Amino acid sequence: MATNASTWFYNEPEHNAYLLEERVNHTFWSNRLSAVYLDCLSDTPPFKMVGTWGELPLTIEWVPRDYFTLTTQPDTQVDQLIVALKEILGFMPTISYVDPNGDQIVEWHMKQAGQRIQNIQGNPNFHHIKRYK
């Protein structure tokens, strides 16, 4: 199954967990992330999937044509995920940070990016904030 982000991020995908898993996993695999395995937790917006990239646990959540969020543990390999997701989604992330639980969050926003940046930067609970251009 050849697929890309246009089938699940730029357009509303089918509300079927199996099809979402197939589409998203294949998109990651075709972008050199062959060790990613994701299971669908929510097949309605916001869509949510959990899984691993090798040994690194990760969660993704998105609303088509609005935002995409990657949540994982801080790790030196996260930069590789960010580069791959930039290629998959077709644009740079908006912001990344470490939340109060110690999770590393990377967010891509198509709408209200400036407002989201202000919310994150103005919250003392978030650390290691990085804006992307």
Q: Give start and end residues of each alpha helix (H) in 1-133.
A: 17-30, 78-89, 113-121
Domain segments of the chain as ranges: 5-131
Per-residue pLDDT for the chain (133 aa), expressed as one digit of tens each?
568 999 999 999 999 999 999 999 999 999 988 899 999 999 999 999 999 999 999 999 999 999 999 999 988 888 999 999 999 999 999 999 999 999 999 999 999 888 999 989 989 999 999 999 7
The Cα–Cα gap between 3 and 11 comes to: 12
CATH class of this structure's domain 5-131: alpha beta
